Amino acid sequence: MKQIVLDINKALGAITREQVYAQDSKAEAANKTLENGTGKGNDFLGWLHLPSSISETEIADIQATADIFRANCEVVVVVGIGGSYLGSKAVIEALSGPFDYLENKKPVIVYAGHNIEEDYLYELSNYLKSKSFGIINISKSGTTTEPALAFRILKKQLEDSVGKEIARERIVAITDKARGALRTLATKEEYKTYVIPDNVGGRFSVLTPVGLLPVAVAGIDIKQLIEGAVAMETITGAHMPFSNNIAAIYAAARNELYKNGKKIEILVNFNSKLHYVSEWWKQLYGESEGKENKGIFTAAVDFTTDLHSMGQWIQEGERSIFETVISIAQPQYQVEIPSDEQDLDGLNFLVGKRVDDVNKMAELGTQLAHVDGGVPNIKITLPQLNAYYLGQLLYFFEKACGISGYLLGVNPFDQPGVEAYKRNMFALLDKPGYEEESKRIQS
Ligand code: PA5
């Protein structure tokens, strides 16, 4: 099997290869620190060897549960927020057809608990009225407001529609092994459960049941996904010298760019199926590195669509950005450009070429233009967009994130900043236990 390829050549100019390679010992040390568990946040390193440690039995169990959902449900609602839904959504969107849901492919996967929107929940509830549906409820803490609220509403709807007994069989909870409201509820209601390991944070949980169960329900081969991740786990291991370790090189390059004033990294794709991979990546790096008043701001665009909007800013706006482009070498299908007798659109010069030939020239043309415009480009090439290479990509980004956070000097595995809005929201809602804050904020 091939591997994904990293190319930093077009980032050189803003930084030099020597600068990046001068980070070799620091990056190798950061990788060893991860491996030895001697750095900041070392109680959250369970993701490091997840791919190689998942057993056949665990995979078979997840697959069996997924098969039950597939047999019994027209729709499966994945309830979760942040790290508890972005990984599965990233994989499912990347590996599904954009029109699958219109063809009554079973089951349709929809999401809830990633917002607090009344209209969204009303419309979802309405849609589910005529459907046989199941729920995968995911929350590591088991106390997050958004998914708890959505689950309360959906659970009632399911129970009202099929009765408590059948509802119980159509709900799976994925949560902490012992703590939290969701664990208590799941035990009381006797739901089938999966455990999110203590030492795996939400944004690193895609290769636990958090990601794997919804992905398997969508009919995607989770073994292939894991195999891809295993390959990347091996080739980015702590034993690997810097010059052969693409995760370490990516981590070092983006840190050097940051030091040189490139404060924003834009993840670019030329295949919009990767849109949610970008959303997952934004969380992974944004939440891991954005702390202590430092860290690259993570943004993302889908090209060529966004070349007609954000393309202007990227070409000529403030020069504080760099791009990391995910390129797919081979599309899954072939569409040849047909001849047209009248040629009123002037496209006959493309006859016989494939649509992807045009997309690739757009990609190359964009890279040249952006590099000329002062936007360093890093490129990551996947031979194909399939479960195996996606598994590689996900683990690649996770490993590079750990190394990058240590190079930056932060704890990449905590997220203290996400609590601030919650405290205010609870105080404003007069939640018991928040009396002091309530008085303060409402005065
Ligand atoms: O990465 C993280 O830790 C967060 O995005 C969490 O996953 C998110 O806040 C959801 O938390 P929980 O799974 O506890 O409901």
**What one-character-per-residue DSSP string does 392-441 give?**
HHHHHHHHHHHHHHHHHTS-TT--GGGHHHHHHHHHHTT-TT-HHHHHHH
* Residue type at 410 in one-letter notation: V
Q: Can you say whether the dihedral through the CA atoms of 350, 355, 360, 365 is positive or negative?
A: positive
What pLDDT was estimated at residue 327? 98
Give buried/exposed letters for 277-309 (b at 16+ CB in 10 A, else e).
bbbbbbbbbbbbbbbeeebbbbbbbbbbebbee
Pocket test for ligand 1, best of 114, 141, 200, 288 (most atoms within 8 A of CB): 141
* Residue nearest to ligand 1 atom 8, measured at CA: 82
* Residue nearest to ligand 1 atom 5, measured at CA: 82
Domain(s) of CATH 3.40.50.10490: residues in the chain: 5-41+226-413, 50-223
Residue reference for tokens 């440690």: 53
Q: 306: closest CA among 325, 320, 287?
A: 325
Which residues does a 6 A CB cutoff place in the pocket of ligand 1?
Answer: 81-84, 139-141, 144, 147, 201-203, 287, 415
Q: 31: closest CA among 428, 440, 396, 423?
A: 396
* Percent of the chain topping pLDDT 90: 91
Clarify whether 287 is annotated catalytic. Answer: yes
CA–centroid distance, 78 to ligand 1, in Å, is: 14
* Strand-pair partners of 7: 379
- Tell me what percent of the chain is helix, strand and coil, each rounded to the nearest 5: 55, 15, 30
What pLDDT was estimated at residue 1? 66
Q: 384: closest CA among 31, 138, 95?
A: 95
| Both structure tokens of 279 | 């959303």
Q: Which of 233, 265, 287, 323 is catalytic?
A: 287
C-alpha count within 13 angstroms, C-beta hemisphere, residue 157: 22
Q: Which of 56, 165, 188, 308 is catalytic?
A: 308
Mention every residue, 6+ apart, whose C-beta is less than 8 A from residue 154. Answer: 77, 79, 112, 124, 125, 128, 135
User: How do strand 171-175 and strand 5-7 relate by DSSP bridges?
Assistant: unpaired
CA–centroid distance, 203 to ligand 1, in Å, is: 7
* Residue type at 290 in one-letter notation: G
CA–centroid distance, 86 to ligand 1, in Å, is: 10
Q: Which of 169, 422, 431, 437 is catalytic?
A: 422
Q: Which CATH architecture has domain 50-223?
A: 3-Layer(aba) Sandwich (3.40)
Query: How open is the CA angle 157-279-283, to the nearest 5 degrees?
Result: 95
CA–centroid distance, 127 to ligand 1, in Å, is: 27
The answer to whether residues 321 and 265 touch, using CB atoms and an 8 Å cutoff, is: yes
Per CATH, domain 5-41+226-413 is 1.10.760.10: no
What pLDDT was estimated at residue 207? 98
Pocket test for ligand 1, best of 144, 177, 200 (most atoms within 8 A of CB): 144
DSSP structure class, residue 131: S
Helix (H, G, I), strand (E, B) or coil at 240: coil
Which ranges of the chain have pLDDT less than 70? 1
Distances in Å between the Cα of 205 and the Cα atoms of 280, 357, 391, 409 are 11, 36, 13, 23
CA–centroid distance, 420 to ligand 1, in Å, is: 14
| Both structure tokens of 66 | 């997924």
Pocket test for ligand 1, best of 43, 139, 140 (most atoms within 8 A of CB): 140
